Amino acid sequence: MTPTTRLTLATLLLGTTLLQATPSTQIWIPSTDIQPFGVPHFGLDAYVRSTENGYWEAGKRDPDVFDGGLTIGVLPFHDLQMEVGVDYISTFSGSKYDDHPVFFNAKLGVPEGVLCSNAPALAIGGYNFGTKRHNATRTDQDILYGLASKVLPGFCGLPSLGRISAGYYVGNNDVLTGPGGSTDDNHGILLSWDRTMSEIDDRLWMAVDYQGGQNALGALNFGVAWAFTPNVSVILGYDIYNEQSVAGANTITTQLDVNF
């Protein structure tokens, strides 16, 4: 996986059930990367709880989550890019949220150096647009975000230090709630560092990212990826939730990414 490969990860937790619809991401948070025009991308992600006992009830495991998603670039321009996507997410546990498994996402952005020679890459977008918008099982988190990213130059003959990203997000406070159903925890910062480890192998990529907030999305995440071919990569990561009373037990994630 390279930094421009779509890596799918992020979650939507409603009640005690983990669900998700993801744009192009780092490990967890959205990235400024956008799928090329007309290139479909398929992602198959698994989020497996790292402990046997669930947070909510001793001896009961929090549900694992599986996400199959399709994303495609829809603008034929270099300086202005856009992608749209749809995901099918299920816990396969018979959860009431499994009855509404379809989610949508979209992103618009400009690459680094387009606005001026030293300008960062910029992106705005949204994800977790669910199809159930009423009653207790609603899935419309409706996350909106903005991001900027910049590749750090090397110095004294050293290679680049990697790419840093920063931004902010806000969601539907009726759905993206905090401990005790708090409606003040629907927003937070987005931060990440990622780098292709060329000193070892151009096919190896590493990243750490963080999403603020005491809600189901808040987490510190890290992982590595390996590109088996230019179009096929796999990521292995770990997700540490900011508030396990909302998000449940930490998860191990594996993600298969394929560009057609």
Among 5-14, 89-98, 214-223, which is the least confidently predicted range? 5-14
pLDDT score at 96: 73
Are 14 and 132 in contact by the 8 Å Cβ rule? The answer is no
83 vs 65: CA distance, rounded Å: 24
Token pair 């899935």 in the structure block, residue: 139
How many Å separate Cα 221 from the centre of its chain?
10
Asked whether the whole model's pTM tops 0.85, one would answer yes
CA distance 68 to 89: 6
Domains of the chain, start order: 12-152+160-259 (2.40.160.40)
**Secondary structure element (H or E) that encloses residue 246, with its range:** helix 244-247
- Which pLDDT band, with edges at 50, 70 and 90, does 59 fall under? low
Detail the DSSP E strand segments found in 96-199: 102-110, 121-130, 143-152, 162-170, 187-196
CA separation for the pair 8, 191 (Å, rounded): 16
Given pLDDT bands bounded at 50, 70 and 90, which one contains residue 22?
Answer: low
Query: pLDDT by residue (tens digit) across 84-142?
Result: 999 998 888 777 778 889 999 999 999 999 999 999 999 999 999 999 888 777 889 99
